[in-house]
Amino acid sequence: MKSRREILELGVAAMGIGALLPGCGGGGTSDDGGAGTCTTSSAISDNHGHILMVPRADITAPTSDKTYDIAGSAGHSHTVTLTAAMLSDLAGGTSAMAETTLDNGHTHFVTVMCV
């Protein structure tokens, strides 16, 4: 298990390279009237095919906690919950980090930021 310091360092490093990671959600930079996904970037620790997509509406009008499935091509699933406060932070330009559920003997730390 990674120390809290290692996890935070991973999150900081991901902010610089987030746009290059395959776990990025993103609907582009054009205004699509609120449909699709917000232009977000996510970093998933020890990733092996998981993907997080955060719908634009979840960030622009957060009213409750949201849970996302990040299965992707990993062959197993995890979920991660972003609280309404975290989603508001994303809208304000701050990154959010949360731990996934345990599956297949491990968890992941997910860092999400709006770009």
pLDDT tens for 6-29 read: 555 555 444 443 333 333 333 323
Q: Tell me which residue of 108, 106, 50 sits closest to 97, measured CA to CA.
A: 108
**Residue length, the chain?**
115
Q: CA-to-CA distance for 43 and 21, rounded, in angstroms?
A: 7
Confidence of residue 2 (pLDDT cuts 50, 70, 90): low
60-114 pLDDT per residue, tens = 888 999 999 999 899 999 999 999 999 999 988 899 999 999 999 999 999 999 8
b/e map of 34-66 (b: 16 or more CB within 10 Å)?
Answer: eebbbbbbbbbbebeebbbbbbbebbeebeeeb
Provide the token pair at 22: 């395959």
Q: CA-to-CA distance for 80 and 58, rounded, in angstroms?
A: 14
Q: Are 115 and 41 in contact (CB under 8 A)?
A: yes
Tell me the HSE value of 91 on the side-chain side, using a 13 A CA sphere. Answer: 16
- pLDDT at res. 86: 95
Q: CA-to-CA distance for 32 and 107, rounded, in angstroms?
A: 34
